[in-house]
Chain A
Amino acid sequence: MVPKTIQLGHGSGGVLTRELIRDVFLARFDNPALAPLLDSALVRTDSAEIAFTTDAYVVKPLVFPGGDIGKLAVCGTINDLAVMGARPLALSCALIIREGLEIELVERVAQSMQHAAAEAGVAIVTGDTKVVERASCDGLFVTTSGVGTVDPTNRPGGAIRDGDAVVVSGTLGDHGTAILVAREELKIVSPVVSDCAALNGLVEALRPHFGQIRIMRDPTRGGLASALNEFVEHSDVGLVLRELDLPVSPGVSAMCELLGLDPLYIANEGKLVLVCDAGAADQVVAAMRSHPLGAQAAAIGTAGSDYPGRVCLETSVGGLRVVDMLVTDQLPRIC
């Protein structure tokens, strides 16, 4: 049954989102900069290569453990630039605000945007605000765009090869779990806080290894599973992850057991996942661990030719199963 109306699943970052982008937008906008559907588009001028990205934020609740919609909007856009190997240059922000929202809350959001931008060494150089009637929006929606510069002679990129290593910068599923707990309906108390953070500093630590890195991503909506599936979607190799090596915090693990969730599919907002040459894996992990945001970095899997185009998991008991892309999320509006 193909839906004739937009469903919440179209916003989950999984299969339905991809169908929407492919069938409605890519079909009409198609151009070489957009077509790869990367976190940022690479646009060339006569003298430079520019990374350009945009992202809308509708997280609910607006303030959550570990951050708020402002911090999320700034960090998310910086991350989309950083994972392309770009140095963030400038950001824009546009806010759609519901009438009746407390000015104090808008100030708080603006303050965290400024704080996050300053910490990452980027300025918010332009913006826009619109105010809508009560029924048109249930609080505050934020859109940020960003540009960054790319050094064409040193940026990550290349086909994933047999034997390559999968490396992740830290624990999985913290953001999505924190949002779930922050919603009141579950009435669960949990120590989990969002990992929301700007990753450009961590990416700088990896710059010496860019030549050995095939692809980098910040696995947000759809979680690690969806990001890795996109890595190998059209590849002649697949990825096999080792469940025992996946970093997951006890708090997230407990919530997953309780609610039947899989941390591989839960959103992160301050994690990096990459595939690199097997020979460089130890150095990449060490470089990540040298940065506070990469302290729990780990090699979690290997590329191989057994299941081309697929992501599999060697389970804790030694079984093997497919790790598919997320289809629809049970947790709407996480970012």
Chain B
Amino acid sequence: MDILAEFRGRDAAQALARRIAEVSADRSLTFMEVCGTHTMAVHRFGLHTLLPEGVRLLSGPGCPVCVTPNSLIDAAIAYARRDDVTLMTFGDMVKVPGSSSSLAAEKSKGADIRVVYSATDAVEFAREHPDRTVVFFAIGFETTAPTCAAAVLDAAEAGLDNFLIVSACKVLPPALEALASGELRLDGFVCPGHVSVVTGFDIYRSVVEDHHIPCVITGFEPVDILKAILMLAQQAVAGEARIENEYSRVVRPEGNRIAQQVIAEVFGPVDSEWRGIGSIPESGLALRDGFRRYDVLSRLPVEIEPTREAPGCICGDVLRGVSTPLDCALFADACTPAHPVGACMVSSEGTCAAYYKYGRDRPDGA
């Protein structure tokens, strides 16, 4: 029954931690876990406390809630305020503050905002409520984008006229490229297992070949993550840069071709704004011409308030890995999960939320 036991085994984890210490010896190594789910797992299992002092983990921009810019949150809020609209999105997105409000605050004032676990639930709701205009606030990387694309295809097949989306989906490779060529000196990427299930290995090719930074794809259990760190340390110490797959029980080199095709059929690349990073060329997914009728921004124009960033919030630096939450003057003081200022404190995958929840007093040395 408990297939997870072997990936959470104390002996296996401790042995890996010892090997990491041996391999890294006294070298200082900095790896970035790109994915928010990895960030949470690292903190949830206290993996920092098992690593040698010189091995440091930085959190990257891989939480889709965190990188969604205020301008799009403001747009979702503007739609939610309309009486004829039911706005649907994923749980954490509801709590993220926009320029002057949040979806949660609008909901408490009576806006019809609903949390869904899947994009197809929103299509189902639209089918059952022809009198409502359903706006699905679609966020996510390659992991979620296929389900958003499939929802649009479902709506098209059913001939629904009351299902529209705010397309805020993003793709990872341009962001990886920006990080690899940016100010950080990284010794390796802990690459996201879920995204890789869809994309396969190719998206890391340029990182290893052009930037000579090791990449290891891995899962989300403590033994997976520690093993990936060991593999990265071995490559870094040997001066190599290869794509390795620790998560071979799930990830195939070619990825999931059907999911890739569904994304390509519905969405095309577009320049996209990332919180804290700015606009990254071709990093967003926009509806293709044939599906433009599902794009709420063009179908149903609304007035959106001018974008305002919270003063003092350094979510952007945190998302780029150049600062940690502990560098932020607002952290755990003006900005807490109960009263968040920045997106990274809201999302359950957010770096600030992870630091706050699992390591505020740093027993895990975060």
Interface residues, chain B, with chain A CB atoms under 8 Å away:
1-2, 4, 8-10, 13-14, 43-50, 91, 95, 97, 102, 104-105, 108-109, 117, 121, 222-223, 226, 336-341, 348, 356-361, 363-364
Within 8 A of B (CB), among A65-81: none
Does A7 lie within 8 Å of B356, measured CB to CB? no
Does B105 lie within 8 Å of A320, measured CB to CB? no
Does B337 lie within 8 Å of A330, measured CB to CB? no
Does A1 lie within 8 Å of B14, measured CB to CB? no
Does B117 lie within 8 Å of A320, measured CB to CB? no
Per the bound structure, the CA–CA distance linking A321 and B362 in Å amounts to: 8
Bitwise interface map of A from 161 to 188 toward B, beta carbon under 8 Å scored 1, else 0: 0000000000000000000000001100
CB distance from B310 to the nearest CB of A (A): 8
Kindly report which residue of chain A lies nearest to residue B1, judged by CB atoms: A250
CB distance from B362 to the nearest CB of A (A): 9
Q: What 3 A-B pairs have minimum CB-CB distances, sorted nearest first? A: A319-B46, A317-B13, A327-B337
- Residue A84 at the B interface, CB < 8 A? no
Q: From DSSP, what is the main secondary structure of chain A's interface residues?
A: loop
Does B108 lie within 8 Å of A320, measured CB to CB? no
Within 8 A of B (CB), among A294-327: 306-307, 310, 312-322, 324, 327
CB distance from B250 to the nearest CB of A (A): 15
**Given known contacts A1-B340, A15-B338, A310 and B361 CB-to-CB distance under 8 angstroms:** yes
Can you identify 18 A-B contacts, CB atoms within 8 angstroms? A1-B102, A3-B108, A16-B338, A185-B117, A262-B44, A307-B361, A316-B9, A316-B10, A316-B45, A318-B50, A319-B50, A320-B49, A320-B363, A322-B357, A322-B358, A322-B360, A322-B364, A327-B336
Does B102 lie within 8 Å of A317, measured CB to CB? no
CB distance from A189 to the nearest CB of B (A): 15
Kindly report which residue of chain B lies nearest to residue A253, judged by CB atoms: B2
CB distance from B106 to the nearest CB of A (A): 10
Per the bound structure, the CA–CA distance linking A7 and B104 in Å amounts to: 7
- Residue A211 at the B interface, CB < 8 A? no
- Residue A24 at the B interface, CB < 8 A? no
- Residue A257 at the B interface, CB < 8 A? yes
Does A319 lie within 8 Å of B48, measured CB to CB? yes
- Residue A61 at the B interface, CB < 8 A? no
Residue from the list B43, B337, B338 in contact with A321, Cβ < 8 A: B43
Does A260 lie within 8 Å of B348, measured CB to CB? yes
Kindly report which residue of chain A lies nearest to residue B356, judged by CB atoms: A324
**Given known contacts A185-B121, A319-B46, A327-B338, A312 and B363 CB-to-CB distance under 8 angstroms:** yes
Inter-chain contacts of A318 with B (CB < 8 A): 10, 13-14, 50
CB distance from B47 to the nearest CB of A (A): 6
Inter-chain contacts of B340 with A (CB < 8 A): 1
Inter-chain contacts of A16 with B (CB < 8 A): 338
Inter-chain contacts of A322 with B (CB < 8 A): 357-361, 363-364
Does A315 lie within 8 Å of B45, measured CB to CB? yes
Per the bound structure, the CA–CA distance linking A201 and B49 in Å amounts to: 42
Inter-chain contacts of B361 with A (CB < 8 A): 307, 310, 322
CB distance from B365 to the nearest CB of A (A): 9
Does B46 lie within 8 Å of A315, measured CB to CB? yes
Residue from the list A5, A260, A313, A319 in contact with B47, Cβ < 8 A: A319
Inter-chain contacts of B10 with A (CB < 8 A): 244, 316-318
Does A319 lie within 8 Å of B341, measured CB to CB? no
CB distance from B114 to the nearest CB of A (A): 9
**Given known contacts A8-B108, A16-B338, A319-B364, A324 and B357 CB-to-CB distance under 8 angstroms:** yes
CB distance from B330 to the nearest CB of A (A): 12
Inter-chain contacts of A320 with B (CB < 8 A): 46, 49, 363-364
CB distance from B4 to the nearest CB of A (A): 7
Does B9 lie within 8 Å of A317, measured CB to CB? yes
Kindly report which residue of chain B lies nearest to residue A14, judged by CB atoms: B338
**Given known contacts A317-B45, A317-B50, A3 and B337 CB-to-CB distance under 8 angstroms:** no
Inter-chain contacts of A157 with B (CB < 8 A): none
Does A6 lie within 8 Å of B9, measured CB to CB? no
Inter-chain contacts of A7 with B (CB < 8 A): 104-105, 108
Does B108 lie within 8 Å of A319, measured CB to CB? no
Inter-chain contacts of A315 with B (CB < 8 A): 44-46, 222
Kindly report which residue of chain A lies nearest to residue B106, judged by CB atoms: A5
